[in-house]
Structure 1
Amino acid sequence: MTVSLAKGYAQEPETGRRLYVARAELVLAEPDHRPLACPGLKPDPLQRIAAAMASVRSQDGEEAQVVVDLVAVAPKVVARRRRRLMARAARRGPSAYGERITSGGSGSGSVWSQVMAGLNGGTAAPGRAGSRVPRQSDLADGVGKFTPGGETFAVQVLVCATATHPARARAHLNHLLAAVEVFSGPNRWRPVGPRWGGWRPYSNVWWRRASFDRRLASGEFAPARRQWVTTKEIAGFLKPPTVHCAASNVVRGGGVVPAVPAGVPEWTGQRDVVPLGAVTGPEGRRLVGVYERDLLFGAYLGKSGFGKTELALLQAISRAYAGRGGWFLDPHGEALARSRPYLAHPAVMDRLWQVDLSTPSMSDRVACWNPLSMEGKRPEQIQEVIGAVVGGVASAQGWGDGAPRARTILSNAVATLAELSLRMVADGHPQLQPTVFQIKTLLNDADWRQEVLARLPRRLSKFWLTSFPKLSGEAVPIVTNVLDRLEASLSLRAFFGSPRSTYDVRRAMDTSRVVWICPSGTGESDDLVCSLLLFDLFLAGLSRRDTAVKDRATFWAFVDELTGVDNAARGYIAKVLEQLRKYEVRLMAMTQMAMRLKDSTRQALMQNQSVLSVTGADTDEARYVAARLPHVAPETVTRLRKYQYVMSVMLHGERTTPFRVDGVPIHEVLADYYNPEGLPALDAAIDANLARRTVAEITERLDDLDEDILKHVVTWPLQPAGGARAGGAAASGDVSSAADGDAGVDGGA
C-alpha cells in the first residue's frame, strides 16, 4: 500500500526552465521496537505537513511529496521477532532507566557472582538467587511495541522536493523533515545518507540517487534497512485531514454523508422518474432520480450560482419530453435563454407557451392575458375573477387589513367590469371585454361609468351611487397608482392590454402545455405581475375540482428565486403547497435562503416537501437545513462545492437518508436534443400556439378600447324604470367625506 501526500503541478513549468530536486529517505533513528509518538487528532498531525507544502509554488512547476510505502508483516514473523526480543531482555537481566542493574555497583559484580556460585557448589550466593531474572517491566520494555494483537507493517518513507532553485528545493525538504518531528517519541524519523558538518545531501548523493528515483517512480519496496511500525504509529499518515487541519492547501472530502440508498432508481429517461443528478457508488457513476408518484413538492436551497436553476431546468425539460405539462416562472430570463435550444423539438414545440415580459420592440410578438375576461366562463365564476385580481393586487401592494377602502373600491370595480365582460361575450363581442386598464376609466371618468352602469344590473349601481361618493378621495389614487405603474411599462401594456386572453393557465393544465414565464426582473410592477400569476395558478388548481381525479393531468410548477416571488405573493405560495397536491399540481421551489422566506411559506415548504436538496450555504442556513438531514453536520453543508448537493427524497412513501449528488449540466445529459437551428421554427410554433400579436397592434387597439366599449354599450337598452343610474355629482378624487368608521389613510399601498 502506498500513501502519497503531494502538492501537484497547477500548470506545466516554463519550457526549458530547469528544476532542482532534493531527496531524503527516512528511517527510524532507534531500534524499531521502540515506538514513535502517536499524536491525536487535535491538533491534526497533518497540519504541519500541509503548512510545509504551503510555500510550494506549483504554478512554477514546484512539487513536494511525502510517500509512505507499507508492506504487511505476517503475524508469525512478528511473533518470532517478539520471542527474540524477550530472550534478549532475559539475558540482559534487570534494568532501570534503560541501564542494566549490576550487583556491586561495578562491572565486577557479575564475575564475583559466578565465583560465589562455584564455591557454593553451583548455586548463587544467598540474596542473589534472582539477580538474572528480568522483571516484567524489563520484558515489556524489551518487546516494546510488538505486543500481541494489532497489525505490523514494514515501512519505506521517501521525501522529495522539486523547485526552480536548489536552495528552494532544500528549503522545502527541510520544512517537510521538520514537519515529521510531530511523530517523535521514544523513536523518531531521521534521514539516511551522509551528514558531514554542514553538508546534508541525504539521498541526493550519487550512490543513493538512482535507487531513490527508481523506488519513487515505480513503487518498488526496498528501504535502506528493515524497520517495522504498527497501525497506531502510522495512522497519522494514513488518515485524511480532519476538521482540525486548518491548512488552506488541503483538498477537503466535504464531510461525511451516507451512501445513496439502494432503492433510489437510476434515471435513463423514464417518464415516471424525475432526474436528480449523478451519484458514485459500487456500481460506478450513474444518474439517479425519484419516482413521480413520490414527488409532490420540492425544496432546492443554496447559494447563488451553485446549480439550483440548472437542476430545475433538467427536471422541467425532462417532464416536458415525458408529455407532462409544466409552468416555469423565471424572474430573470436566463433559464429560458438556456433551455430554448433544447425545446426546439417536434415532441415539445407544439405544446410550448412563452410569455416574455422583458423590454420588447413594437414589432415583437407577445402573448396576452386579461384577468377580467369571462370568455368560456359562467356567471358564478365572477367571484373567482374578483378574488384573483383583488387578491393579487392586495398581496403585491401589501395592503393586508390596512387598506379596507382601497380593497372595497377595487372589488366593486372588478365586479362591474367582469359583469360587463360577461355581457360582451354573451353579445358576441369578446373583443370588447374590458381589461385591467379600464379600472382607471371606471374610477376616473364619471360619464363613462354612468353610461355603463345604466345598462348593467341594478345591484351593481348601488355601490357607485351610495357608497362610492362617501369614500375618501385618498383611497381611489391608491388603486389607480398601481395601474399607472402597469401602464408605464410597454411590455405590461401589451401583456394585459388585449380583451381576449391567449394565456390561460387552467387550459395549460388540462392540455399539458409547457409554459415559460419571464417577468422583466426588476421593479414594483414585477411584484404585481408575479402575484397575479401565482394567485391565478392557485385558483386554476382549485378549479380542477370539477374534473375527475383520474382525468387530472399532472402539472409541474417551477418557481426560481422563490424569496423574491414570495414577497410578492404574500402567502399564496404556502396555499399552493398546502392545497394543490390533491389537484395534481406539484411545485418545485428554488431559493438561496429559506430563512428569508415568510414563516408560513417556509413552514409549508419544509412540512410538505418530498425532495429536500441543499448546496453550499451560510452557517445559519446550513444549521437550519442540516437539522432536517440526519447524519449530516452543518459544516458539511457549508463546504459543499458548486454543483454538489446533499439530498433527501421520498422513496415508496418513506424518507431516505441523505446522500450526496453531483449536478449534471443539461448540455451533457440532453445533448441529443440540442437544436439551435430549430429556434426560428420554435418561435413560429409559439406564435401559433399563443396566437401572439405585435406590441404595436395590441397597444394601438388598447388606446381606442374605452371608446369602442362605450359605442357598443350605448346600443343596449337602459335598465327598466326605477333602475339606478350612477350620477356624476361625485367623481373620484372630488369627494372628501370618509365612510363612517373607516378613519385614516389606507396603509401599505
Structure 2
Amino acid sequence: MTALTTGLVRLLVRCALWLWHVPAWLTAYGLLLTFLCLPLIAGGLVLREWLTRKVLAQRVRYTLTPARAFDPCQEEIWRGAAVLLRAARSGPWWAPARAQSVRIRLRADGTGETPLDYSLEGHASAQDILSTTPYDKVTVERCRPTRDRARKHTLRAEFVLRGDPGAPLREVPLHPDPLQPIMDAVAAVRADLGDLAEVIVDLQPIPTWRLRLKRWHLAAAARARAQSEARKATRRAIADTDAIEDSFAVQLAHLLDFGDHRGHGGRRMAMTVRPRPVDAAQVWGRLGDDLGLVRLQLLVRCASDQEGRAERSHKSLTSAMDVFAGRSRLRVEGTRLGPWQWNANHLLRRGSFDRRWTTGLVLPRADSWLNISELSGLLKPPTVHCRQPLTAATLPTYELGKPLMPQGWYHAPDGTTRLVASPLEETLFSVSVGKSFYGKTTRAVVQAIAVAAAGQGVFFVDPHADSWDLAAPFLAHESLRDRVWRIDLTGRDAGARLPSWNPLGMDAGQRPDEVVRAAVDSFAIVLGWDDRTAPRASTVLFKALEALVEVNRQAVAAGKPRAQATLFQVRTLLTDVSFREAVLDKLPEKAKAWWTTTFTAYGDDAFAPVLNPLDRLAADPVAHALLGAPTGKWNARTAMDKRRIVWLCLGGTGPTQRLLVNLLMRDVFRAGLSRGNLPEKKRKPFHIWIDELIALDQAGTGSTIADITEQLRKFGIRLHVLAQLLERISAGTRASLLQNASVLSTTAGSTDSVGAVTEQWHGAITVREVAELPRYHHALSFTAGGKQRGPLTVRGPQPAEVFCAIKSKKHLGELTQASTQAVGARTASYLHKLADKQDAVVLAFLTGPADRTPPPPRPEGPCLVKPTEFQ
C-alpha cells in the first residue's frame, strides 16, 4: 500500500468518525447553537426587510400616452422590452433581489381620456431609462404614484404559469391588439360608481445560477421520466412475452413440433427497453435561451362601491388572460374545495397581496418564467388596432340646464344607454349631413332647445317652418317663453301678424357704413355681383343706399324715426327726380358730387339690375310687409346680447326667401362684428342653426356662412348647419365648415356622400358601416376636453324624451301672444299701407322745415343711441 493510499484511508476514517460524533455533538450543543444562530438569522431578515423597504420607497412612475396612429412593429416592441429589463436591473448594489423589478400598470378608473391608462414604474435610478421610449408616437410623462381610496368591494387575483414550464404561451398577433380583451373587460368601468380595475405586470431578470439550477432540475426530471417510461415499457414487453408463451396456440405448436428443436424447450426472454435520450433543447424550451428571460408576477385587482361590479370586472379580466393560453397558460393561483377557496382573496393572504401591490415587492406564489417575446402584447401601450370605447369622463351626459349640447343616445359597452353631450364652450361650429327623413332637423331642434335652456342665445333658420311645431311645446315653458322671438315669414295665414324690419334703419344706434355694407353685400352675394360682372349696378346700389342711410340718420337725430327710408325708396330715388333732389339737399357736398356728375351719365339701362330684385321683393306680400315699414323691432345685436331665442320660419327656399335670409344673415354678421366694443368676457354666446344649407348656399348665403365661421368665433357667434350633401355646397363654404367644425355628423346615405365625411376621420370608421346605419342614427365626432372624441354611433334624440320636464303644451297660446308682442307683429294689410305711404312720409321730412342738420357721427366708438329690443 502506497503512502497516498494510506493517507486517503486515514482521511476517510476520520471523516466517518466525525460524522459518527455529529449527532452526539448536536445533542449536547444544539440548544446553544440555536440561541447563537437565531439572532443572526433574525438580524439578517430584519436587515433585508429594511433594505427592501428603503429601495421600494424610491420608485418613480411614468405614463405612456400613444397617439391614435400608434402602430409599432415587433422590433420596436423588443427594443422597448430591452429598455424595461435594463430598468429592472437598476438600483443600488445592496438592493435585495425581490426589490429589483420594473412594473407595468394597466389602470382603468373611468376618469381618464382613454379606458386604459398605461404606465411604467421603477427605481428612481432608472428614471433616465423610463423617461425615454423607442416608440415614435408615444408621449412619456412623469406622474405621481397612485393613491386610491378604499372601496366597499374588492377582489384580488394572482396569475401564475401552469402547464409545461418549457412550452411557450400562445403566440398572439399584434393585429388585432392583444390588449383588446383587457380593453373590452374594463370598458364598463364607471367613476361615478367607484369602479376601479387594474392589472400589474412585474418583470424581474433571472439570476444565472437560478436558471442553471432550473435547467438541471428540468433535465433530471426529463431523464427520470424517460427511465420510468423505459421501465414501464420493459415490464409491458415481459408481460406480452409471457402472455404469448402461455397462449394455447404456442403450447399447441410445441406439442405438434416433431423437429430437432423439440428437446430444446424454454421461455423466450424480453429485451430490456433503453431509456429515450433526453433532448436538452426540447426539455428546456423557453429556458434554453438566456436572452429576454424574465420572472413574471401578474396581479389583478378590481374594486367598486356597488355590489357586483367588482365581480364583473374580475371575471372579464380573468377571461381576457385566456388569449395567451397554449401548452402553458396563465391561470389564477389558488385552490377550491366546495364553497371554500384558498386564493389571494382569502383573509389570511390579503395582506401579502396588498403589500406586493402597494410597494412593488416581487414575491410570486410560484415561479413564472417567460420570454419577453411571449408578453409582447403587454409590453406596449394600446395601438391603432385596439378599439378604445369612450369613457364617461370623455363623454359628458346631458342634464337639463347644464352648458351642454346633446348629441345622441350612446349605447355603452356595459349595456347602459345615456344621452352624451359636448360642452358648449367647445362646440363652436357643427356640420350635420345625411339623407332626408333621417333625423337631422329633429336632432338640431333638440340641440337648440338645450342651448336655450342653458341660458344662451339661439337663432334657428327653418326654411320650411316645420320645426316650430316640434319646438313650441317646450319653448312655451315659463323659463323660456319670455325670450322667444318668432319671425313667421311663411305667409300661409292671410290674417297672420308679421314683424317689420328696416335694413337701412338707424334708430338702433347702427353705424352708417356697416349698414350700407351689409345691405350691398347681401344683394351682391345673391345676385352674383362683383367689380367684374356688375360694376355699375354695385356702384349705383351702394350710392343709393348710402344716401338713404344718411337721410335716416338725420331723421332719427331729428326725432322722426318714422320718416326713415326703406329699401323700396331706392326705386323712388333712382326714378323720381323731385325725390332725388330732395335727398341730395340733405347730403354732404362730397356725397352729392357723385350724383351731380357720374349719375347723370348713366342711362336707364344701368338701373335695371338694381330695380329688378327690388321689384320682386315689393311684389312679394311677405317681403313687402317685412321690409316696407320705417321702423321695426328686429335688432340682431340685441338678440345676441339679451340671449333671445329667435325662430325664423320661411315659406320655402325660393329666390325671394333666399334674398330675405341673406339680408338677415348679413345683418347678423354685421351685428356680430359690432360686438368688438364689448369686453371678451361679456360677449355672450349666440348659436345659429341653418337648415337646408344647399338651397341657401346656392343663393349666396354660403359666403356669409364662411365669413361667420372664419371671423365671428372671437365675438361669441356659433354656427351649426344641416345639409343633405356636402358635394352640393360651394367649395369655399365646404372647406371653411370642415376646417372649423367642432362637431361633424352624418346619417346613412350613399357611399359618395358618406365618404366625404368619413374621410375626415382617417379610417376610424368605414364608409360601409356608416352607409348601413339604421334610420335616426348618426355617426359623429365632437370636441370635449380639448380633444376630438369619436367617431361613435348614436341614436338621434327626440324632444319629448329629453325635455319632458319642461313640456308646456297648454301654454302655446301664451307663447304665441308673448312672441307676437315681442316682435311688434302687425297685420300684413296694415304694413302694406304703411309701406305704400312711405315715399310721401320721407319726402315730407326732406322738404319740411328743420331746425338744423346734425353732424355725422364719429366713425368709431360705442353706439351713441341705446339699442332697442323686442318688447
TM over 0.5: yes
- Provide the residue aligned with 1:397 in structure 2: 527
Q: Where do 5+ consecutive residues of structure 1 fail to align?
A: 1-89, 91-110, 130-146, 152-255, 721-749
- Provide the residue aligned with 2:614 in structure 1: 483
Code of the aligned partner of 2:614 = L
Q: Helix, strand or coil: the match of 1:620? A: helix
Cα RMSD (Å): 3.1
Conserved? CA contact 1:258–1:657, under 8 Å: no
Q: Distance in 1 between matches of 2:496 and 2:650?
A: 16
Q: Distance in 2 between matches of 1:437 and 1:690?
A: 21
Q: Distance in 1 between matches of 2:401 and 2:266?
A: 97
Q: Helix, strand or coil: the match of 2:780? A: strand
Q: Which moved more, 1:461-470 or 1:475-484?
A: 461-470
Q: Distance in 1 between matches of 2:776 and 2:387?
A: 16
- Provide the residue aligned with 2:428 in structure 1: 296
Deviation at 1:283, TM superposition (A): 5.7
Identity level (%): 34
Conserved? CA contact 2:404–2:451, under 8 Å: no
Q: Helix, strand or coil: the match of 1:517? A: strand
Q: Helix, strand or coil: the match of 1:594? A: coil
Q: Kindly indicate whether residue 446 of structure 2 is the aligned counterpart of residue 317 of structure 1.
A: no
Deviation at 1:525, TM superposition (A): 0.7
Change (3 A) 1:612 1:619: same
Over residues 453-495 of structure 1, what are the superposed CA-to-partner deviations in whole Å (9 max), with x where a residue is unaligned? 1233222222222111222432211110001111111111111
Matches within 5 A, 1:551-630: 551-568=682-699, 569-629=701-761, 630=763
Code of the aligned partner of 2:528 = G
Over residues 252-276 of structure 1, what are the superposed CA-to-partner deviations in whole Å (9 max), with x where a residue is unaligned? xxxx986334421111224211111
Deviation at 1:377, TM superposition (A): 2.1
- Provide the residue aligned with 1:279 in structure 2: 410
Code of the aligned partner of 1:637 = V
Q: Kindly indicate whether residue 798 of structure 2 is the aligned counterpart of residue 675 of structure 1.
A: no
Change (3 A) 1:485 1:554: same
Change (3 A) 1:719 1:545: closer
Deviation at 1:712, TM superposition (A): 2.1
- Provide the residue aligned with 2:461 in structure 1: 329
Code of the aligned partner of 2:458 = G
- Provide the residue aligned with 1:707 in structure 2: 840
- Provide the residue aligned with 2:764 in structure 1: 631
- Provide the residue aligned with 1:359 in structure 2: 491
Deviation at 1:149, TM superposition (A): 6.2
Q: Distance in 1 between matches of 2:391 and 2:764?
A: 14
Code of the aligned partner of 1:432 = A
- Provide the residue aligned with 1:736 in structure 2: none
Deviation at 1:649, TM superposition (A): 1.1
- Provide the residue aligned with 1:382 in structure 2: 512
Q: Helix, strand or coil: the match of 2:420? A: strand
Q: Helix, strand or coil: the match of 2:607? A: helix
Over residues 358-396 of structure 1, what are the superposed CA-to-partner deviations in whole Å (9 max), with x where a residue is unaligned? 115553211111100011326xx2111111111001111
Q: Kindly indicate whether residue 554 of structure 2 is the aligned counterpart of residue 423 of structure 1.
A: yes
- Provide the residue aligned with 1:467 in structure 2: 598
Q: Whose relative contact order is higher, 1 or 2, with alpha carbons under 8 Å and at least 6 apart?
A: 1
Aligned residues: 487
Q: Distance in 2 between matches of 1:556 and 1:356?
A: 19
Conserved? CA contact 1:455–1:716, under 8 Å: no
Conserved? CA contact 1:258–1:658, under 8 Å: no
Conserved? CA contact 2:521–2:666, under 8 Å: yes
- Provide the residue aligned with 1:738 in structure 2: none
Q: Distance in 2 between matches of 1:390 and 1:122?
A: 124
Change (3 A) 1:293 1:719: closer
Q: Distance in 2 between matches of 1:420 and 1:586?
A: 34
Q: Distance in 1 between matches of 2:574 and 2:253?
A: 131
Change (3 A) 1:148 1:506: closer
Q: Helix, strand or coil: the match of 1:347? A: coil
**TM-score of the aligned structures, taking structure 1 as reference length:** 0.61
Q: Distance in 1 between matches of 2:268 and 2:463?
A: 102
Change (3 A) 1:310 1:121: farther
Conserved? CA contact 2:428–2:742, under 8 Å: yes
Code of the aligned partner of 1:334 = D
Change (3 A) 1:276 1:570: closer
Q: Distance in 1 between matches of 2:266 and 2:833?
A: 135
Conserved? CA contact 2:458–2:686, under 8 Å: yes
Conserved? CA contact 1:279–1:661, under 8 Å: yes
Conserved? CA contact 1:260–1:658, under 8 Å: no
Q: Kindly indicate whether residue 637 of structure 2 is the aligned counterpart of residue 525 of structure 1.
A: no
Conserved? CA contact 1:455–1:718, under 8 Å: no
Q: Kindly indicate whether residue 567 of structure 2 is the aligned counterpart of residue 436 of structure 1.
A: yes
Change (3 A) 1:463 1:718: farther
Conserved? CA contact 2:474–2:807, under 8 Å: yes
Q: Kindly indicate whether residue 665 of structure 2 is the aligned counterpart of residue 534 of structure 1.
A: yes
Q: Helix, strand or coil: the match of 2:760? A: coil
Q: Helix, strand or coil: the match of 1:556? A: strand
Conserved? CA contact 1:382–1:419, under 8 Å: yes
Change (3 A) 1:122 1:547: farther
Conserved? CA contact 1:302–1:593, under 8 Å: yes
Code of the aligned partner of 2:529 = W
Q: Distance in 1 between matches of 2:851 and 2:575?
A: 22
Change (3 A) 1:149 1:709: same
- Provide the residue aligned with 2:353 in structure 1: none
Q: Distance in 1 between matches of 2:326 and 2:514?
A: 83
- Provide the residue aligned with 1:198 in structure 2: none
Q: Distance in 1 between matches of 2:744 and 2:622?
A: 36
Change (3 A) 1:681 1:655: same
Conserved? CA contact 1:360–1:491, under 8 Å: no
Q: Helix, strand or coil: the match of 2:586? A: coil
- Provide the residue aligned with 1:407 in structure 2: 538
- Provide the residue aligned with 2:160 in structure 1: none
Code of the aligned partner of 2:764 = H
Conserved? CA contact 2:632–2:824, under 8 Å: no
Over residues 633-677 of structure 1, what are the superposed CA-to-partner deviations in whole Å (9 max), with x where a residue is unaligned? 011111111111111111211112311111121122222322222
Conserved? CA contact 1:257–1:658, under 8 Å: no
Matches within 5 A, 1:191-270: 259-262=389-392, 263-270=394-401
Over residues 565-611 of structure 1, what are the superposed CA-to-partner deviations in whole Å (9 max), with x where a residue is unaligned? 22221411111111111111111111111111111111111111111
Over residues 7-37 of structure 1, what are the superposed CA-to-partner deviations in whole Å (9 max), with x where a residue is unaligned? xxxxxxxxxxxxxxxxxxxxxxxxxxxxxxx
Higher Cα Rg, which structure: 2
Q: Distance in 1 between matches of 2:475 and 2:461?
A: 16
Change (3 A) 1:451 1:661: same
- Provide the residue aligned with 1:41 in structure 2: none
Conserved? CA contact 1:261–1:656, under 8 Å: no
Matches within 5 A, 1:69-88: none
Conserved? CA contact 1:367–1:690, under 8 Å: yes
Conserved? CA contact 2:404–2:454, under 8 Å: no
- Provide the residue aligned with 2:80 in structure 1: none
Matches within 5 A, 1:715-730: 715-716=848-849
Q: Distance in 2 between matches of 1:586 and 1:436?
A: 29
Conserved? CA contact 1:458–1:719, under 8 Å: no
Deviation at 1:539, TM superposition (A): 1.4
Change (3 A) 1:716 1:285: same
Q: Helix, strand or coil: the match of 1:574? A: helix
Q: Distance in 1 between matches of 2:592 and 2:409?
A: 63
Q: Helix, strand or coil: the match of 1:627? A: helix
